[in-house]
Structure 1
């Protein structure tokens, strides 16, 4: 494979790792937020109304940010009825076909997320709750993570082509 493609795959894999490890650290933040909510609500009898909603936003960020590393590490769920019995070249052929379906899906999702983000910015969209936070940051994160997933999907295309050629990236 050309040097530029190898550099692209290495760079996207590195970014996916970084974002994935950052996402994994969000678990500790969610745990601390829920612990704070439990203590203030049950021990101090002073409910913190924003804690649960902040945890929900953090969980969404965790989910979005975990997508690229899941693709990179081939950790996603798949139907192994036929796939498990295929050779490495057979798996690469099947993955090369299915990755284009995923790219189409991610492209449609990206268009929708951009539209949703634009609407949120134009209307200064907020959640209807006591805390009333803006949804712009989480929608922006969704858009960025979809771009990262698309970049990782194209890196997978290059990896599958390399496998079919008998090489690895």
Structure 2
């Protein structure tokens, strides 16, 4: 149980501070959109603003998700759930979080494959590619670019997606372990 508590504390701490920093990304997004409006009104329109706003929004959303799960501020269908006892909620959460963990695992695999593709890997095993990058036996190929006029490389936002999905997966495991402790009658 001590290992579970340490895992919960470490994951909750990382996601808490990540979420607190990322929540200020809304101001970055507002600045980009403000510049977009000003440049379209008074100057030549900037090519980068719309896509950069999308990238910032992806980072804001995907890195803030684990913080939202941790605070319990995610959207729930609360028709019955709100009236249940803590023990019944823990049983239902324990069961449903397993589906979320499976889904996030599949999503993480897809994000790894997509990032490997954006770095020029055409094979079927992205872990082999990333292992080769670490050991130096694999080189980066032709970088994927966005098909827009600005044409930014895509791998940075895909790395943000990998990090966000991984943090969400860790937070879901933390919530799973919290439910296990609740069912055992232990304080969290």
**Under a length normalisation based on structure 1, what TM-score does the superposition of the two structures give?**
0.94
1:1-169 maps to which residues of 2 (within 5 A)?
1-2=1-2, 4-43=3-42, 45-122=43-120, 123-169=142-188
CA distance in 2, matches of 1:159, 1:101: 16
Q: Is the contact made by 1:159 and 1:168 (CA closer than 8 Å) also made in structure 2?
A: no
Structure 2 unaligned blocks of 5 or more: 121-141
Q: CA RMSD in A?
A: 1.1
Q: State the Cα distance separating 1:85 from its structure 2 match.
A: 1.6
Q: State the Cα distance separating 1:22 from its structure 2 match.
A: 2.1
CA distance in 2, matches of 1:48, 1:168: 54
CA distance in 1, matches of 2:116, 2:162: 11
CA distance in 2, matches of 1:112, 1:37: 32
- How many residues align? The count is 167
CA distance in 2, matches of 1:100, 1:16: 20
Q: Is the partner of 1:84 in helix, strand or coil?
A: helix
Q: State the Cα distance separating 1:36 from its structure 2 match.
A: 1.2
**Under a length normalisation based on structure 2, what TM-score does the superposition of the two structures give?**
0.85
